[in-house]
Structure 1
Amino acid sequence: MLSGSNDEEQDIMFFHRVDSDEIIYQTEKKSCKIIGKYVMGDLLGEGSYGKVKEMLDSETLCRRAVKILKRRKLRRIPNGEQNVQREIQLLKTLRHKNVIELVDVMYNPEKEKMYLVMEYCVGVLQEMLESTANKKFPNWQAHWYFIQLIEGLQYLHSSGIIHKDIKPGNLLITLDDTLKISDLGVAEALDRFAPDDTCYTSQGSPAFQPPEIANGMEKFSGFKVDIWSSGVTLYNLVTGKYPFEGGTIFKLFECIGQGDVVIPEELEDQLIDLLKGMLHKNPELRIPLENIIRHPWVIRKPPKTLERVPIPPLRGDELHTMTVLPYLYDYHYGDQSSSTQYISERQLNEEKKISMQEACTNNKGSSSKKACKSDGRQTSCLNMRKLASCHPS
């Protein structure tokens, strides 16, 4: 009987409570992945069509970005495959400093993957706007990006291409602050023998569509659609708002089609005049691109101030350091350090507290004080992107 009771005691399981901040996590080991002549880096972003990663051209040592598209995913998106093929065909013919360049296209039939190798950009205008408290740029910075947008748009129109989806989310920024028009998935190339720029379809973002599309016109001027969406973009850059808003697409289109544009009076007169011309409800009276280029607000150079919206850091890295380097080091030398990197939530939050104190010391404005208070929350290892693949050690 005694031996039986001892066996029962041995079978009893004990659970010890451990605080989450005491758990030690091991970071994921970086293993080098090479596709063709390109070395893959970290994830830059992710959209409805697929992932975007950094990569390095091993022959030219040029930094690139690659869109990784899966055919299985594209089939689930309306016109997904057609839009991608259209973008590839258009970008192959385009070369301009303010239009994103398609460098290479690769296919993997076995995995049904497509790789679009593009110029490397460090930021998106939309993300820059969202990183500020008032969601807008200072006047000189908005002017700088707008004139680049117009130069890129002039090139597209001269090439017979209508973008149809101009918006801050499709305007990328390079390391040297050059704007690149991207995402030509819904763009349309006019027939070279077409008598005018008449279009019959539109798939652009609803908030940037002109009244003629909102009111359901069967045909419309493609160039004037881009003028309107560029006007909405400029309005957004200088005010932090949209000229028309609605809780549903139906209400939004009703406002665009029937409402009047209200431009804030605090804007300078020349800018107000330009916005009124670009956002004219009648497409025939909407200011043409050649007049925008000669407009007084576009020609003049606003005084540059110290106020500036920086490109948001990528996972805390303000310098946007090349993420391919750790993979290259591992490939050539074997990155022994990555296999022994451990971190706990307590260490993570201690580092965060120190960096917060330094930031609060360096920035003593009222807005920074709010940020100091709001960012005092504890961080979890499981929620850290750079530790997304970590596991309890």
Structure 2
Amino acid sequence: MKKLRHPHVVRLYEVIDDRLKDKIYMIMEYLGGGEVKWRDGDHEPVLTVNQTRRIVRDAVLGLEYLHQQGIIHRDIKPANLLWTEDRGQVKIGDFGVSHFSYAQRLAAAGKEAADAQRDAMLIDDSDLSKRAGTPSFLAPEVIWEFHALSQSPVSSHYELPSVKSSGTVQSSFYSKPRPPITKSIDIWALGVTLYCLLFGKVPFTTTGVGSEFELYRVILYSDWGVPPHMGVNKVPTGGRQPNPSVPGGAAIQLLDRFLQKDQNDRITLDEIKVRPHAVLSNPRKMNLTF
């Protein structure tokens, strides 16, 4: 963290090891705006769509920098996005479960051949094989083993599609070997975060109290629903199937790319920064596709 220098990543200035008191002190940048608040007591959104765009824009730029440094954050969520005191910027914080990969750092630096870079991204470090982060934000490849823990894959209230659609998978998908855990898990978590900011709820939930095991199986097998409106300003969404003619259709289309269970189909940070037919050359003026 001390080596990180980016306007959208929380700065760590110094670490003091006080052996007399047996404590370690971390002197960090003060973010007076606090964490991003995304819902009220009734689980309704409190942000406008434009505010959500600004937050996600900053998070994309911060996450892009982290990945270039070889760092997988592993716990992207609204509570780890912090406002500056003037609410002008959002910064990524809390690196308690983050992971550094030298292989990823080399690939990001362009020191590998094009087809070798893909192999370098397949992080197989032992730490990444352990679950870390917040359950509702974990990508399918992180909780892959929960598919194999039951002979009956889903209960009646889960969706198990027979054909692949935008947010679901074929039943044969989980019969394949477990996919590698890469920086794409941060992309998934950012997609879940975007959903939270827009709708005031997480996209994957269990009926009733449920357990983490049931939640993981919902993430693995179920599609996500779309309320008729998003944001505190009630922008029409047009439903689950992206409809560009509806004001919020582009946001649903973006979510659809974020929340692909197959990481090979998931959007990349470079793709997020591209509007249809035009590449935004100035990332500070980046305007997401909604």
* Same fold? TM cut 0.5: yes
Q: What SS does structure 2 have at the residue aligned with 1:256? A: helix
CA offsets 1:193-224 (integer angstroms, 9 cap, x no match)? 57224243331110000112222275523221
Aligned-partner Cα distance in 2 for 1:295–1:146? 15
Percent of paired sites with the same residue: 35
Paired residues of 1:126 and 1:168 also in contact (CA < 8 A): yes
Paired residues of 2:73 and 2:95 also in contact (CA < 8 A): yes
Match of 1:235 in 2: 195
Q: Which of the numbers 121, 133, 138 marks the counterpart of 1:196?
A: 121
Aligned residues: 212
Q: What SS does structure 1 have at the residue aligned with 2:202? A: coil
Aligned-partner Cα distance in 1 for 2:70–2:76? 16
Match status 1:212 vs 2:141: yes
Match status 1:162 vs 2:72: yes
Judged with a 3 Å threshold, the aligned counterparts in structure 2 of structure 1 residues 94 and 132 are, in CA distance, closer, same or farther, namely farther
Aligned-partner Cα distance in 2 for 1:272–1:133? 20
RMSD between aligned alpha carbons? 2.4
**Structure 2 residue identity aligned to 1:271:** A
Aligned-partner Cα distance in 2 for 1:301–1:272? 10
Q: Which of the numbers 221, 237, 241 marks the counterpart of 2:181?
A: 221
Q: What SS does structure 2 have at the residue aligned with 1:275? A: helix
Judge which range, 99-108 or 233-242, deviates more.
99-108
CA offsets 1:153-187 (integer angstroms, 9 cap, x no match)? 01011111110100011111111321110111111
**Structure 2 residue identity aligned to 1:211:** P
Distance apart, 1:136 and its partner CA: 3.4
Aligned-partner Cα distance in 2 for 1:282–1:208? 15
Match of 1:117 in 2: 27
**Which structure shows the higher helix fraction?**
1
Paired residues of 1:94 and 1:101 also in contact (CA < 8 A): yes
Structure 2: gaps (5+ residues) = 108-119, 146-176, 229-235, 238-247, 277-285
Q: Which of the numbers 204, 207, 213 marks the counterpart of 1:244?
A: 204
Distance apart, 1:132 and its partner CA: 8.2
The TM-score, its normalising length taken from structure 2, stands at 0.67
Structure 1: gaps (5+ residues) = 1-90, 303-393
Paired residues of 1:214 and 1:253 also in contact (CA < 8 A): yes
Aligned-partner Cα distance in 1 for 2:43–2:140? 30
Distance apart, 1:126 and its partner CA: 4.5
Match of 1:299 in 2: 287
Match status 1:140 vs 2:50: yes
Distance apart, 1:258 and its partner CA: 1.0
CA offsets 1:124-150 (integer angstroms, 9 cap, x no match)? 445453478723311111111110000
CA offsets 1:87-116 (integer angstroms, 9 cap, x no match)? xxxx01110000000011112212111110
Paired residues of 2:73 and 2:99 also in contact (CA < 8 A): yes
Match of 2:262 in 1: 282
Aligned-partner Cα distance in 1 for 2:225–2:42? 23
Q: Which has the larger radius of gyration?
A: 1
**Structure 2 residue identity aligned to 1:245:** T
Paired residues of 2:34 and 2:84 also in contact (CA < 8 A): no
Match status 1:186 vs 2:97: yes
Aligned-partner Cα distance in 1 for 2:268–2:137? 17
Distance apart, 1:254 and its partner CA: 0.9
Aligned-partner Cα distance in 1 for 2:16–2:54? 35
Aligned-partner Cα distance in 2 for 1:108–1:300? 45
Q: Which of the numbers 8, 11, 16 marks the counterpart of 1:106?
A: 16
Paired residues of 1:200 and 1:219 also in contact (CA < 8 A): no
Ranked by relative contact order (alpha carbons within 8 Å, sequence separation 6 or more), the top structure is 1
**Which structure shows the higher strand fraction?**
1
Distance apart, 1:289 and its partner CA: 1.1
Distance apart, 1:277 and its partner CA: 0.2
Paired residues of 2:83 and 2:91 also in contact (CA < 8 A): yes
